[in-house]
Amino acid sequence: MRRMSVLSVVGVVAGVVLAGAAPASAGPGEDVLRPGEQLTSGQALLAPGGAHVLVLQPDGSLGMYALDDVVRWSSGRGVAGATLTTDAGGDVRLVAPDGSVLWTTATGGSGGTLRMRDDGDLVVELPDGTTVWSSGTTVVPSTLVGPGRLGPDDMLASPDGRHTLFVDPVAGLQLHGPDGTVRWTPPDAAAATAARPAAGSPAAHPATALELRADGNLVALDADGDVVWRSRTAGTALASLVLQDDGNLVLLGPTGEPVWTSGTAIGPPVLEPGAELAAGATLGSPSGHLGLRVVDGALVASWDGEPFWSSPTDTAVGVRLQEDGDLVLLDAAGTPFWRTGTGGHPGARLTVEEAAVLLMTPEGEVLWKAEVPASLVPREVPASPVPTGAQPTDCALVDGPVVAGDVVRTASGISVHPCLADALDALVVAAAADGVELGGGGWRSPEQQIALRRAHCGPSDADVYDKPASACSPSTARPGSSRHERGLAVDFTTAGRSLTRGSAAYAWLVEHADAYGLENLPGEPWHWSVDGS
């Protein structure tokens, strides 16, 4: 469903009807469904700020959308012609035309009302504001506006949810990357915690809060309130701290100019044919450990900042991937003077994977590579996509999380369990033949699942390990129970965006995915697994 079509439903006339006829409808553009009111197909509740909308869709299901058009919550499969009602007792029900209840908040007797909030949470609340039911879809902010404070119960998350900044109970303030590893801590705090004896042991004076002060200075404080680090940006009034999708923590001045950065940006993983990478720009692996950039006139590949390969040059100002597949370094005049010698392969792409930089043809032939030495790569990160252990060929026999070395990267670029790889490749090829381009994310490590739980469920250990999946935004399985950790699930994308229920890609999967062994998880149009969970 496109955003324009979603938002247009709030303009549907939904006036109060005469007594004795149908129940009153919520007024157009309203954020609340009061007792005795209803929504019918095409009508919606709109958050006051307009950033979130709850729509009763033509198929009879409820869908909550943000401005990026991504489904943030759904009631599951519906029945065409269903209505959403709030009864006099405060129970909210989605009712099919035959009277059967498709979904309910089970809040009868509360006298509450259904409300769509600006923070993205759908709630049933009492007249005094007490919440008696919640969809658990509150959006974690990505920005801290000064003067402001980030404490133990707070968190910033990048808009895409892959990066989180929060206070760890033991280690203090930390910025976590997509795989759950620490990418930044306040420098002085890092020195103070580096010598802690073991994981889980108390740290010496960790930073327990981050303050953006009215003068524009960003400071980290320990439990005693003493400053352990500062950005030294005092005098920058009206500043704001933003955690970007690329993982960079950036302090912006009043006109939007960066005045400080954590320097943790992860570059895109691919250089397309004909594209250039300028000095200072970076290509990066999805986790951010492996990077490729031009430094001091040379093309340098590094792992966690430690160079392991470099071109034998000192005058490069950029790199270009020629249309014919040759990777060349450019001098100040824009003239190529060093090359990989891989011309004659049009369409080749330069891809930064987790443990290697690969120049590959569209058919998957590797023309050139720079591999991370085994001594630098942690054991759980594979240097190649070849499975390291004996894995079952029947997906039904995969009963727990698998390590990175036991998954494979398919021709479509999605990492899954070997038992699913051939079927997934066949599905992607069949979809492409019908004009549907599918991408997506498959296997996740336990660290990635934990990082996602912190981003989607909350910063505390209780949020990560105890909170039910349905209370997270979006719904996220507990560590150890996700089909992604087994390599048996894919979050599909099309044109780089998560699938929505009204998209052509979703419709294609509904019709064809079962033939390839994949089922949809109700309420998440993008999530497909071997058993629908």
Q: Is the confidence at residue 204, as pLDDT, over 90?
A: no
Tokens, residue 89: 């007792």
Architecture per CATH, domain 3-134, reads as Orthogonal Prism (2.90)
Q: Which residues contact 246 (CB under 8 A, 6 or more apart)?
A: 158, 265, 266, 267
- CB–CB of 271/234 below 8 Å? no
| SS3 category, 225 | coil
Integer-rounded Cα Rg, in Å, for the chain is: 25
Distance in angstroms (rounded) separating the CA atoms of residues 319 and 70: 35
Tens-digit pLDDT profile for residues 475-530: 788 888 889 989 999 988 887 677 777 788 888 999 999 999 999 987 778 889 99
Q: Would you place residue 309 in the very low, low, confident or very high pLDDT band (cuts 50, 70, 90)? A: very high
Q: Tell me, what's the pLDDT at 488?
A: 93
Q: Tell me, what's the pLDDT at 276?
A: 95
CATH topology of domain 395-444+482-529: Muramoyl-pentapeptide Carboxypeptidase; domain 2 (3.30.1380)
CA distances from 230 to 194, 213, 240, 251, 405 (A): 19, 11, 15, 12, 41
Query: In this structure, which CATH number among 2.90.10.10, 1.20.1090.10, 3.40.50.620, 3.40.640.10 belongs to the domain 143-261?
Result: 2.90.10.10
Q: Tell me, what's the pLDDT at 231?
A: 93
Q: Tell me, what's the pLDDT at 14?
A: 31
Least confident of 110-114, 248-252, 459-463: 459-463
Distance in angstroms (rounded) separating the CA atoms of residues 512 and 384: 31
Distance in angstroms (rounded) separating the CA atoms of residues 451 and 439: 22
Domain boundaries, the chain: 3-134, 143-261, 270-371, 395-444+482-529
Tokens, residue 87: 């009864």
CA distances from 141 to 157, 160, 175, 348, 477 (A): 6, 11, 14, 39, 21
Distance in angstroms (rounded) separating the CA atoms of residues 322 and 329: 10
Quick one: which of 519, 522, 514, 521 has its CA closest to 530?
Answer: 519
- CB–CB of 172/189 below 8 Å? yes
Q: Tell me, what's the pLDDT at 171?
A: 85
Q: Which residues contact 48 (CB under 8 A, 6 or more apart)?
A: 31, 118
- CB–CB of 491/527 below 8 Å? yes
Distance in angstroms (rounded) separating the CA atoms of residues 190 and 118: 36
| SS3 category, 462 | helix
Give pTM, 2 decimals: 0.60
Q: Tell me, what's the pLDDT at 28?
A: 58
CA distances from 67 to 52, 71, 121, 153, 472 (A): 7, 10, 14, 27, 19
Tokens, residue 503: 């998209």
3-state SS record for 428-452: HHHHHHCCCCCEEECCCCHHHHHHH
Q: Which helix (H) or strand (E) holds 366?
A: strand 366-371
Least confident of 18-22, 390-394, 402-406, 508-512: 18-22
Quick one: which of 113, 85, 103, 96 has its CA closest to 24?
Answer: 85
Tokens, residue 344: 């004659």
Taken as a whole, the chain contains a residue count of 533
Distance in angstroms (rounded) separating the CA atoms of residues 284 and 440: 18
Neighbours of 240 (CB within 10 A): 17
Is the peptide bond between 147 and the residue preceding it cis, with omega within 30 degrees of 0?
yes
Q: Tell me, what's the pLDDT at 280?
A: 82
Q: Which residues contact 242 (CB under 8 A, 6 or more apart)?
A: 142, 143, 249, 250, 251, 252
Q: Would you place residue 140 in the very low, low, confident or very high pLDDT band (cuts 50, 70, 90)? A: confident
Antiparallel, parallel or unpaired: β 131-134 and 227-230 = unpaired
Can you tell me the mean pLDDT for 185-209? Answer: 58
Tokens, residue 90: 């405060």
Least confident of 204-218, 362-376, 457-471, 483-497: 457-471
Tens-digit pLDDT profile for residues 328-383: 999 999 999 999 999 999 999 999 988 889 998 887 788 999 999 988 876 444 43
Neighbours of 394 (CB within 10 A): 7
Tens-digit pLDDT profile for residues 59-86: 898 988 876 666 777 887 789 999 999 9
Is the peptide bond between 474 and the residue preceding it cis, with omega within 30 degrees of 0?
yes
Q: Tell me, what's the pLDDT at 400?
A: 85
| Fold equal for 270-371 and 395-444+482-529 | no
Q: Which helix (H) or strand (E) holds 26?
A: none
**Residue 182 carries which side chain, given as an amino acid letter?**
V
Q: Is the confidence at residue 212, as pLDDT, over 90?
A: yes
CATH class of the domain comprising 270-371: mainly beta
